Each structure stands twice: as structure tokens, then as C-alpha cells.
Copies of this chain bind each other. A is one copy, B any other.
Amino acid sequence: MSDSIRVIQYGLGAIGRAAAKLVLERPHLQLVAAVDCNPDLVGCDLGQVLGLGKNLDILVAEKLENLFEEVEADIVIHCTGSHFINVQPELVEIAKAGLHCITSCEEALFPHYRNPDLAADLNNHCVSNSVSILGTGVNPGFVMDTLPAVLTTISQRVDAIRVLRVVNAATRREALQRKVGATMTDADFRKLVDEGRMGHVGLLESLVLLATSIGWDIENISETVEPVIAQGSVRTEYLNVLRGQVAGVRQIATADRNGKEALRLELQMYVGAENPRDEIELTGNPSIKLVLPGGTPGDIATPAILVNMIPAVVHAVPGLHTMATLPLPRLSA
């Protein structure tokens, strides 16, 4: 075990628990601690929390700082929130503790976009403590940003990039079906949009990461969040959407380059979506289309990418990284 990388799991929601389980399966990784502020979990054995039916002799700690005297670790997998402004103090604490970090925080994919000062502050803490931090996931983090960037490697010229992700929410967990607005009225949905409480977090971060990674200056960045209205009733394992109710969300981020739309990321997540898929289209020389039929299953793929990026982050130059500043991403089983 002496050569293994020691991992702390911070946040034990669905993604955090799946990441912790995957760490346990990887021979080069060692799960040494877990943190979650949920009082129902604090003090419980992690093996029970993960539903393993056995103890791991790792008790869930309420706060990261409670671990510093007892546990030696190398990296934290951080899964506590979507908004960088909220989790930045946690990430700073991790850096100050001399620990590397991979976070599922969607806005941390490219935190310089919304919070340049907080991002710069975090980067400073990383550099002065010789650690690296990366925000990633499957979306944002892979399908709508990293993968299209990689596809441009074989382009002589790219005029426009269009990415379409269609998710049939009926095949996903109940929380996601509720999150996309299934069974809501159009009015309630739009009210949540106006309050900034509806829609996928991170689409603009994908857009900006993609543009930055290929050196594009973009302008007129914009985003729309619209309800998809059910044309007929749709029954899922968890709920029943009636005709005229909201089935889910259609979210589009665009940006111009040289006065013309050059980037368009469209995410459709609704119950009953047909032909779920991820599609990337490059217009240019050559024009290329890439399709992932069925789409990438986020509940499996996000824990995977969080864990697969561990060696790259541990060996990176200290600082706040993006998927575009690290070596070729790949399985690290």
C-alpha cells in the first residue's frame, strides 16, 4: 500500500458515494477517510453508508479539519456543491492542508469565468502549498467540452462547433427527474428559471473551457433555459407527466466569433426524450460528426472521470487546473 495514492472522500451524495466505491476497487488507490456534514451520516461506518454490508473501519467525519491530526492523505475527491462561490472556502481549506483535490463542482470546471478573483485566490493557495486542483465530471467536464476539444485536433480549420446532448430523464434517478422540472407547470418552471434555480449548472463553463482550450476569442456569450412540454403523458418509475406539463429542460449556450455564431451547446434533459445521444459536429475542414448513441450515462461516468483523473492531478504542476492543462485524460485503473 505504500505506493498507493491516499484518498479522502468529501461529500457522500450519490456521486460522492459512487466515487468512494470506485476508489475501493482500484488497487493503486487507498480510501483513508470520508467527510459529510449530514448528521445522519456523521460517525457512521463508511462501509454501511456505501451499502457494502460490511464495515470499512472508516467513520464519517463531520468536518475535514477533524481529520488532519489522525489521517495522512494525498488527495480529496470533493462533491459538495455546484456553485464555485459556495465551495471555494472548502477548496482553499483542502489546499492549505497540503492536499490535492478533484471536485465535481460544476462551476469549478472553469472558475475563472464567473469568479476570477476567487479562482485566482484558490490558485495562489495551490501554488504556495504545492498542490493541484481540478474541476471535472462528465457534463460539464467531458462530453460538451473536453471531447469536442480533442476532436478539433484533426481539424485544419474549424468554423463552428455544435454539441447536442439528449438525455431521457426517465432512465435516471428520481432526483434528476425532479431537478429538470418533470410534472411542473410551465409557469412554475419559468419562475424557477427567473430565480436562477432551474437548469443544468456548468453549460457556460463548458462553453468557455472549450473556447479557451482551442484559443478562440468569443463574444456574445448567452444562455437560454426553456421547458420541454409533454406532448402526451409519460410515466416513469417515479412519476407521471401529463400532457401539457413540463417534461424537462432544454438549455442552450451560444457564443459568437468574428461576428458569427461559432459555438452552440444544447442540452435536452426530459422524460420521454427519444434517441438519447451525445453529438458533436465540427463545421470546417474537414467537417466531422461524432456520435455517442444512447449518450453517456452520467451517474456512472462522472464518478469514473473523478477517479481516473487522480494520477494526472497528483503529478501535475501545482495550481488550479482545467481538463485542458493536464495530460491526455484516460482510464487509470
User: Which of B149, B158, B286 contacts A328 (CB under 8 A)?
Assistant: B149
Q: Cα distance A153–B153 when bound, in Å?
A: 18
For window 127-185 of chain A, which residues contact chain B by CB distance below 8 Å?
138, 142, 146-147, 149-150, 152-158
Q: Which residues of B contact A115 (CB under 8 A)?
A: none
**Contact status A150-B296, CB under 8 Å:** no
* A324 CB-CB contact with B under 8 Å: yes
Q: In the bound complex, do residue A156 and residue B303 qualify as a contact, i.e. CB atoms below 8 Å apart?
A: yes
Q: Total interface residues on A, using CB and 8 Å?
A: 48
Contact indicator A330/B293 (Cβ below 8 Å): no
Give chain A interface residues in 295-331, CB to chain B under 8 Å: 296-297, 300-301, 303-305, 307-309, 323-331
Q: List, in ascending order, chain B residues with CB within 8 A of A285's CB.
A: 300
Contact B142 A333 (CB under 8 A): no
B149 touching A330, Cβ below 8 Å: yes
Do A323 and B333 touch (CB < 8 A)?
A: no
A303 and B155 alpha carbons, distance in the complex (Å)? 9
A294 near B: Cβ within 8 Å? Answer: yes
Copies in the complex: 2
B331 near A214: Cβ-Cβ < 8 Å: yes
Residues of B within 8 A of A153 (CB): 142, 146, 304-305, 308-309, 329-331
| Chain B nearest Cβ from A311, distance in angstroms | 9
- Please give me the residue from chain B that is nearest to A331 by CB atom: B152
Q: Is the interface of A mostly helix, strand, loop or mixed?
A: mixed
Residue of B with least CB distance to A278: B290
Which residues from chain B contact A215 at a C-beta distance below 8 Å?
331-333
Q: Is the CB of A138 within 8 A of B154?
A: yes
A292 close to chain B: CB less than 8 A: yes
Report the minimal beta-carbon distance from A290 to chain B, rounded to whole angstroms.
5
Q: Is the CB of B328 within 8 A of A156?
A: no
A330/B154 in contact, CB under 8 A? no
Q: Tell me which of B150, B158, B214 contacts A147 (CB under 8 A).
A: B150
A288, CB-defined interface residue at 8 Å: yes
CA distance A290 to B143 in the complex (A): 12
Q: Is the CB of A158 within 8 A of B333?
A: yes
CB contacts (< 8 Å) of A156 on chain B: these are 22, 25, 300, 303-304, 307
Complexed CA–CA distance, A308 and B261 (Å): 23
Interface status of A54 (Cβ within 8 A of chain B): no
Residues of chain B with a CB closer than 8 A to A142's CB:
153-154
A-B contact pairs, 20 of them (CB 8 A): A138-B154, A146-B153, A154-B304, A154-B305, A155-B331, A156-B304, A158-B331, A158-B333, A214-B332, A215-B333, A286-B297, A286-B301, A288-B296, A289-B294, A290-B290, A290-B291, A290-B292, A324-B327, A324-B328, A326-B327
Q: A150-B329, A152-B330, A154-B300 are in contact. List 19 more A-B contacts (CB 8 A).
A: A142-B153, A146-B328, A149-B330, A149-B331, A153-B304, A153-B305, A153-B308, A153-B329, A154-B296, A154-B301, A155-B301, A156-B303, A286-B296, A289-B293, A290-B290, A290-B291, A325-B327, A325-B328, A326-B327
